[in-house]
Structure formats: structure tokens, C-alpha cells
Amino acid sequence: MNPNDIAVLGVGMHPWGKWGRNFAEYGLHAARAALADAGVAWSQIDFVVGGETVRNGYAGYVAGSTFAQALGWNGARVATAYAACATGAQALEVARTRILAGLSEVALVVGADTTPKGFLAPNAGERWDDPDWLRFRLFGATNPAYFAFYARRRMDLYGATVEDFARVKVKNAAHGLTNPNARYRSSVTIEDVLASPVVCDPLHLLDICATSDGAAAVVVASAEFAKRMGADHPVRVSGLSTVTPTFPNTVLDMPNIATDAANAVSAPELTFKASIGRAAYEEAGVDPADVSVAEVYDLSTALELDWMEDLRLCGPGEAEQLLRDGETTIGGRIPINPSGGLACFGEAVPAQALAQVCELTWQLRGQAEGRQVEGARVGITANQGLFGHGSSVILTR
């Protein structure tokens, strides 16, 4: 292991769905699964980090201590992380930092959520200084509207078609068909996608991910602890990026009403999303050409194509061709979202970035039954959330 690597000893999930139960139950289930997978007793965990969401009615309650209490107070240190869709990765970063500092040996990171139906909407109350409230009041700009902006740019700039976007859904549906943790496990055709109602032109209902209940947990440890546990060849976290944008950020990000202006300072060389990936690659000492598999945030089908380019898995405007050639399907050159992605899961915000890490861990161990990317050695995740948050995790073995 490299000096800045930590070991992933165990991963676990609660299946995604619309179960209507308390998030703590899901988190507990995922945590126990990860502990069992690691062969680590709860009493050995010296640090617990929980992912928080402010989105879905549990502000301040989805916390590390909730999971620690559910597992039974064991006197471990505790922390809670919030970074919108990147929450799980930031929670993992908190654990990694303490482990690499030598202050903790083995940590449990948990994210869980219970979600309402329909469009994600801002919290109640009149908040005239909150862009996340104003974008609904002034413009009726929902999350899918922002996804549609990015999709439309691919069409008008690169010649992407609605059939291309549908192909992403078809591929991810096929990938997730036998994934026991996926919520949607049925085949989808291009015709199915195009026959579903248009929500925000050009995106159809089946182009847009749902919101789900679910939980994911990861047990991470120092190299020394892993060795003592007999894990000689563990999956490792080799790079983890949670960078902010660089001023001026001239790409319109949800939920903003306007971007920064580039009139006095020129826009940076890389967009925010591209800079998230670059920081992870630099930290891991990995080149995009080394990547065997990627789990990226397909909030919409078209966003998967954006991420392929932002992570430099192909050049700008080339993602559609790779998709059409089957290169992003399992068995192709660079399989994307072998888990089935958000297309098959729906988003459980504070759990989702950890779910990506769970999937890549199974892939790198060769345990992704029914969806295995053969010989996977390097995996990368990516996501972006509200308010300048985003993350990318590079796992190696």
C-alpha cells in the first residue's frame, strides 16, 4: 500500500427502494453488513462518521451519532458530514484523514436516507435569500430542468440525440438486472424511454433518476490494522477528491440562478466537474487510461456522458460514440455504472457516494456476481451536488 492509501475492509448496503421506514434502520442494516464483510467487531470501531442530508426532512437527525446509538454506544469518536450528493465521499474523507493522521485505526462510515415522492423540493418557509428556494419561486426550475440544460447542450453542440440518452438507460438497466441492491430490475428498451412522458425537454421520465430509500456503509482501516486482520491484498482508497470550484465558475450549477462572471478574472482551465476528477487522479497517481471501471452520477442519462468526458475517459463530444459502440457496457473497453447506476437505484442522497464505493469494491474483488467487469484493478467514482460540492474516489487493488 502507498503511504496515503487506506484499506477498504468491508462494504455493505441496505437495498434501495421506497420502504417508508426510518433511515436509521437502513443505516444499521448496511453498517452490520459492512462489519460482517470486514470481519471487524463493532466494539473495535474507534471512529464513526455519518452522512447527513438536509433535503428530505431529517435535517440534523441523520448524523453519525444516530448510527452509533443504533449499533449501541461503544465510546467511539464520532463525526457527521454534509456535502449534498457528495456527502458519503466527504464522510469517507473525514475517516481517511483521521486514519492517515494516525489518530484512528478502523472507522465505520454510514449514509442512509428516507425520501419523499416526486420532485425534490426545497424545505418549507419563505426564504427570499436562498437560491434553492428562489429558483422554484422565480423560474419553476426543478432539478430535472438543470439536468435538461446539460442534455440540450450535448445535442446542440455535439449532435447527441434522445436515442443516445435512451441508450444510457437501456445499458444501465441491463447492468443492474441482477444487482440485489438495485430498486429497478427490469429491462428497458429505447422505445420504452421515448414513450415515457417528457419531463423537461429533451429528457423523458425514464432519463431521470428517482429518489429512493437506501443505505450504504464502508469499514476502512490503516494499512497496519488491515495487516493485523490478515487482509494482505485489500481494495484501497488511493485518491479522494472533494475540491470546491475555482473562481470564476461559469458553468450554471444547480440550484444557482446565475454563474460567476469572467469579466475581470478569466474562467479556469478546467470546469468544476473536470477539476474534481483531476484532483483524484493526481492524488492516486493514476492516469485516466488506467481506469478499468467507473461509477458516475447519472442523475440523468445525459449526465453520464458528461462525466465520461469530465473524467477524461474520452475526449469532449466522444461519449456518444463510445456508448453506441458498446464500449461502456460490461465487456467493453471502459464499462460505466456496472451497478446499474442511479438509473437502477434512484438517489438516496447521503448514501449514494458510498454506494459507488461499495460497488467498486465488489468489482475490484471480483465479487460483482452477474455484473463483473473482468480483471478490474482501478475504479473511479464521480458525483456533484448542490452548493459547490462534488467528489471523486479512486479505488485500486
Partner 1 sequence: MGTPVIEGWFTQDPEPGLIGSSCDACGTVFFPSGLSFCRNPQCEGTSFAPVTLSRRGRVWSYTDAQYQPPAPYVPARDPYEPFAIAAVELAEGLVVLGQVAEGYGVVDLAVGAEVELVIETLYVDDSGDRTIWRWRPVSSSTATNGDNQ
Residues at the site binding partner 1, with contacts judged by CB under 8 A: 118-119, 121-122, 126, 128, 133-142, 145, 148-153, 156-157, 197-203, 247-248, 250-252, 256-265, 267
d(CA 101, CA 137): 46
Q: How many CB atoms lie within 10 A of CB 158?
A: 16
Go through 257-289 and write b for each residue having 16 or more CB atoms within 10 A of its CB, e for each that does not: eeeeeeeeeebbeebbbbbbbbbbbebbebebe
Which CB atom, from 4 or from 250, has the smaller least distance to partner 1? 250
In whole angstroms, give the CA distance from residue 25 to residue 204.
Answer: 33
Nearer to partner 1, 36 or 265 (CB): 265
- Cα separation, 169 vs 231, whole angstroms: 37
Smallest separation (angstroms) from partner 1 to the CB of 154:
10
Residue 202 Cβ vs partner 1, minimum distance, rounded to whole Å: 8
**Residue 63 or 151 with smaller CB distance to partner 1:** 151
Q: How far is the CB of 214 from partner 1 (least distance, A)?
A: 22
Length of the chain in terms of residues written:
397
| Beta carbon of residue 260, minimum distance to partner 1 (angstroms, whole number) | 6
Q: CB 142 → partner 1: shortest distance, Å? A: 5
Smallest distance, partner 1 to C-beta of residue 111, A: 25
| Nearest CA-CA partner of 81 in 391, 362, 345, 342 | 391
Longest CA–CA separation in the chain, Å: 58
Q: How far is the CB of 161 from partner 1 (least distance, A)?
A: 14
- Contact between 83 and 351 under an 8 Å Cβ cutoff? The reply is no
- Closest CB to partner 1 among 61 and 119? 119
Q: How far is the CB of 60 from partner 1 (least distance, A)?
A: 22
Which residue lies nearer to partner 1 by CB, 187 or 266? 266
Which lies closer to partner 1 via its Cβ, residue 41 or residue 195? 195
**Exposed e or buried b for every residue in 120-147, given b needs 16+ CB within 10 A?**
bebeeeeeeeebbbbbeeeeebbbbbbb
Our CB check for partner 1 shows the closer of 36 and 121 to be 121
CB of 275 to partner 1, least distance (A): 14
What H or E segment, with its residue span, contains residue 365?
Answer: helix 349-365
22 versus 246: smaller Cβ distance to partner 1: 246
Residue environment code for 37-55, b if the CB has 16+ CB neighbours within 10 A, otherwise e: bbebeeebbbbbbbbbbbb
| Cis status, amide bond into 144, omega within 30 of 0 | no
> How far from 223 is each of 196, 219, 227, CA to CA, in Å?
49, 13, 6
5 vs 132, beta carbon nearer partner 1: 132
Quote the CA–CA distance of 115 and 123 in Å, as a whole number.
13
